[in-house]
Structure 1
């Protein structure tokens, strides 16, 4: 009997260090490049007030830009085959007036000049000797990414504006936190609850590193992403901070436009002829008409 007890004690003493070792926690150092980035904290109310204020601050904008455009590919990962590092300028007088003029890289001759007053848009293409007058809802069917661009797409991409949602009782918003890789976000979703089925209208992604909007997604009634915009390089200092790099992607129409601002001025008075564009003598006039919208298409929201 004593032999058995002694044997059991020896076994316990042998196993005890192993049991203790297994209970000791180990510390693992997380690499610096894998640690979560700093995340600022803000309330839903404060962020909504900030977004509303941001929506109203810019009335006019003029900027010189470097433009990259592509269709049938990803502007962020593939080589541009249409417009790459092309210079131009953009003028905007909100809510509806916009002008985008693009020049050839070497000759600095105008290759594309588009203006819109919110009712129709006009496009001059000197290298093709064409002058287009189009309905704002004319479908984008051209293989050329620039010619697929519509004025309202440009304005939607260049500005964050939630005022129309705040003033509409049929639009509700949700608020959530989201983590993607090292980055943390606050995400607002604006939902149209009118009618038998509610549908997502827009999502705004606010980077908690600096509390700036870094992404905007606009959705069709059928839930498909119509416009996906990324914002980066916000100007430092001043009361109005504006992104210096804007990437507008239209996945359904399969084209993308990236604008890198070299110089930007806001709320300065524009000249009276800033949005005048007449048909050049001898150019071919082409009219683009709108097609009937499908039930899955976009509505005001």
Structure 2
């Protein structure tokens, strides 16, 4: 818990901050350490996976590529790309090439990596602007329960911007952006689906200056419906460097097993290696 003096801001100032930051960052190229865990109440256990090194490329409006490397040998553990609508995922250790759509959710407990959608990563990394044409923003003075140095749970004041969005079936709570009162930076974002279910819970920590832009050096992404958690720790970050289209091309490798997630799948019996149950 921070003991720094609390800062104040208006609703207009917080919205302007979100929109200014969204406009300032058009692309990113990052070297990251990736920590992953899968499971929870639904699965009945949590499996932690060994930390791996990886690379993340993102370019607006919706392009993303993420590569994970195997520990020590640094061969590719996975490689995935997305154009915002469709995605491709290559898993060399399993010789599987997965093709699907970001808007179709498929939960495969035997292949937890295949539950990951590049769009979830993109939306967590790059905060979208608040669009007054289709969104209404409301500020709330609230607090977050945190743990102090002695292990006690205490209330820490924050600001929350609740974004109400116009969808196909009417208005719905799209997301909540929570700002710390000690630095007025976004430290958490909750994203909801149109049925009011929490879809993504992202925490942003340890902001640093990268080429004149404040950006969190640790980003934790929790997907409660699929029960997976990914933490990205920034090792190196370049913002607004040109990223040509060929950086987001992933070809199907010869001989790979091709899986189309928008088609019925046979039940999987093989688990994912490399995990330690807890």
1:176 alignment partner in structure 2? 140
Change (3 A) 1:59 1:280: same
Displacement of 1:96 after TM fit?
A: 1.2
2:236 alignment partner in structure 1? 263
Q: Secondary structure at the match of 1:257?
A: strand
RMSD of the TM alignment (CA)?
2.4
1:295 alignment partner in structure 2? none
Displacement of 1:65 after TM fit?
A: 0.6
More helix by share: 1
Is 2:115 the counterpart of 1:151? no
1:123 alignment partner in structure 2? 89
Displacement of 1:154 after TM fit?
A: 0.8
Displacement of 1:272 after TM fit?
A: 4.3
Displacement of 1:95 after TM fit?
A: 1.4
Alpha-carbon displacement from aligned partner over 1:89-112 (angstroms, at most 9, x marks no partner)? 010011111001001112111010
Q: Secondary structure at the match of 2:195?
A: coil
Displacement of 1:195 after TM fit?
A: 8.4
Is 2:218 the counterpart of 1:226? no
Change (3 A) 1:237 1:266: closer
What CA distance in whole angstroms lies between the structure 1 residues aligned with 2:129 and 2:91? 34
- TM-score, normalised with respect to structure 2: 0.82
What CA distance in whole angstroms lies between the structure 1 residues aligned with 2:256 and 2:123? 30
Displacement of 1:192 after TM fit?
A: 3.5
Asked whether the 8 Å contact 1:38–1:209 carries over to 2, the reply is: yes
Is 2:20 the counterpart of 1:53? yes
Q: Look at both structures and tell me which one has the larger radius of gyration over its CA atoms.
A: 1
2:36 alignment partner in structure 1? 69
More strand by share: 2
Is 2:194 the counterpart of 1:249? no
Unmatched tracts of structure 2, length 5 or more: 145-153, 265-278
Deviation beyond 4 Å, 4+ runs, structure 1: 193-198
